[in-house]
Amino acid sequence: MRVAIIGSGPAGFYAAEALLKRPDAVIDVDMFDRLPTPYGLVRGGVAPDHQKIKTVIRVFATTAARPTFRFLGNVRLGPDVTVEELRRHYHQIVYATGNEADRRLGIPGEGMPRCTPATVFVGWYNGHPDYRQAKIDLSVHRVAVVGNGNVAVDAARILLRTSAELEQTDIAAHALEALRNSQVREVFILGRRGPGEAAFAPAELKELGKMQGVDPVIAPGELARCAGSDSTGDKEKDRNLAILRSFAARQPRANAKKLHLRFLVSPTEIIADAAGNVAGLALEKNRLEPRPDGTVAARGTGEIEVLEVGMVLPAIGYAAERIAGVPYDGKARVIANEDGRVVDPAGRAVIANEYVVGWARSGAQGLIGEHKRASAHVVGHMIADGAGLETRALPDRDAIVSLLRERGVQPVSFSDWKQLDDVEVVRGARRGAPRDKIVDVEAMLAVLGQN
């Protein structure tokens, strides 16, 4: 059988691994990615000061070394190759395209300069080519990060790390330079619900209390104000509460940068100064209201305060992009599917031989390791559905590459990527970092002698 996997993040690689390890089938896997570089959010999302988690790429590189695996980077499904073409060249297709769009607060002022979605900020500091030219102005003193998830925590940490700490990481050189000159002294992480509902992981939260020259600050009474904050019945959330209580008990140092944690507030408007820059964030105080399913919702009380900040970073989640020819579930903002089988969003009829894994299947929830089992589960469906498919004659395996080249698209192979990888590692060694990323697709192709 011949399978196309679109997307080289964790979900795509775990699907490839599950397919290539099958003892009962000989499967050729072509993995496409719109970038010349593999690994999705492991390269473009995971925070640079969390290098250890990135070692998972060794597992993916082992999969890539299997003889029937082929990487076709720098090929975007949609403009460079269509779904129809993939259907002609492959027996089965797996979409592993992640969640690359951001969610919006939907409040006045959201589009103004210095209101930057986390997708942009994270992509910028991680050297994602899409965001290398993002305008991130760190001449402000106070920043609001909206959301209580791990991405909010990542963004706050990166804003407050010392440049000496960041230098040792694979942060993009342009971001390192900007953060070196940053004037940011205070960051506010704002949760719309209470501390007991916060989505961040205890380990990530705890790390905020151990940063060089940074004090976490929780105003007296802030935790008591949030009903139900003694125990949640959930181990992780209770650990969060214990950590937050320990933060609240600390005496902030006068000269330290401050990381404020606020709860039960929702932004209602981003306020501009006369020059059109962010000057503040209007916040409505919330109370918690039980939902029929036993969870709690934030409800506005009508009481408004203005938090003076010069920059707002909404970190309130991601959504899947629409891709031409791929069925989209507009409500869940994922590729329309039933348990990983792609379906027509209207009638829910299964579209034969097309599958979806990872965040494109389930939305932006979950850690890298969780995709191993989830992708293998979908591969189980592929094998069950695929009996006899291999008898359908396909064009020669290289025909897809010829088609792309005729169109002026230059696919990047895995050995090409290894060349880029070597260059980045050598560049990084100059500053004692694991790598210094090339952030521009043209420059990557130039290194490979392709433009």
Ligand X SMILES: Cc1cc2nc3c(=O)[nH]c(=O)nc-3n(C[C@H](O)[C@H](O)[C@H](O)COP(=O)(O)OP(=O)(O)OC[C@H]3O[C@@H](n4cnc5c(N)ncnc54)[C@H](O)[C@@H]3O)c2cc1C
Ligand Y SMILES: NC(=O)c1ccc[n+]([C@@H]2O[C@H](COP(=O)([O-])OP(=O)(O)OC[C@H]3O[C@@H](n4cnc5c(N)ncnc54)[C@H](OP(=O)(O)O)[C@@H]3O)[C@@H](O)[C@H]2O)c1
81 is a site residue for ligand Y (CB under 6 A): no
Q: Looking at residues 73 to 102 of the shown chain, list those that interact with ligand X (rule: CB under 6 A).
A: 76-78, 96-98, 100
Number of residues lying near ligand X (CB under 6 A): 35
Task: Determine the interface stretch with ligand Y among 171-179, 275-283, 301-309, 365-373 (rule: CB under 6 A).
Answer: 365-373
Of ligand Y, ligand X, none, which one does residue 148 interact with (CB within 5 to 8 Å by kind)?
ligand Y
Residue 169: CB partners within 8 Å, gap ≥ 6?
48, 49, 51, 433, 434
The gap from C-alpha 192 to its chain's centroid, in whole angstroms, comes to: 21
Q: Which is nearer to ligand Y, 93 or 199 (CB)?
A: 199
Residue 3: CB partners within 8 Å, gap ≥ 6?
19, 27, 28, 29, 30, 90, 91, 92, 93, 94, 382
Collapsing DSSP to helix, strand or coil, 224 comes out as helix
Q: Which is nearer to ligand X, 105 or 364 (CB)?
A: 364
Of ligand X, ligand Y, none, which one does residue 411 interact with (CB within 5 to 8 Å by kind)?
none
Question: Is residue 371 within 8 Å of residue 358, measured between CB atoms?
Answer: yes
Determine the Cα–Cα distance for residues 187 and 309; give it in Å rounded to an integer.
9
Measured in degrees and rounded to the nearest 5, phi and psi for residue 308 equal -80, 115
102 is a site residue for ligand Y (CB under 6 A): no
Whole-angstrom distance between the N-terminal and C-terminal Cα of the chain?
34
Determine the Cα–Cα distance for residues 174 and 170; give it in Å rounded to an integer.
11
410 is a site residue for ligand Y (CB under 6 A): no
Of ligand X, ligand Y, none, which one does residue 149 interact with (CB within 5 to 8 Å by kind)?
ligand Y
202 is a site residue for ligand Y (CB under 6 A): no
193 is a site residue for ligand Y (CB under 6 A): yes
User: Least distance (Å) from ligand Y to the CB of residue 264?
Assistant: 10
317 is a site residue for ligand Y (CB under 6 A): yes
Three-point CA angle 300, 240, 370, nearest 5° = 100
30 is a site residue for ligand X (CB under 6 A): no
Q: What is the 3-state secondary structure (H, E, C) of 124-178?
A: HHCCCHHHCCCCCCCCCCEEEEECCCHHHHHHHHHHHCCHHHHHCCCCCHHHHHH
Q: Which helix (H) or strand (E) holds 370?
A: helix 370-385
Q: Looking at residues 134 to 193 of the shown chain, list those that interact with ligand X (rule: CB under 6 A).
A: 151, 154
151 is a site residue for ligand Y (CB under 6 A): yes
Of ligand Y, ligand X, none, which one does residue 78 interact with (CB within 5 to 8 Å by kind)?
ligand X
Binding residues for ligand Y, rule: CB under 6 A, are 105, 146-152, 154, 191-193, 197, 199, 201, 204, 266, 315-318, 364-367
Binding residues for ligand X, rule: CB under 6 A, are 6-12, 32-35, 40-41, 45-46, 50, 53, 76-78, 96-98, 100, 122, 151, 154, 323, 358-360, 366-368, 371
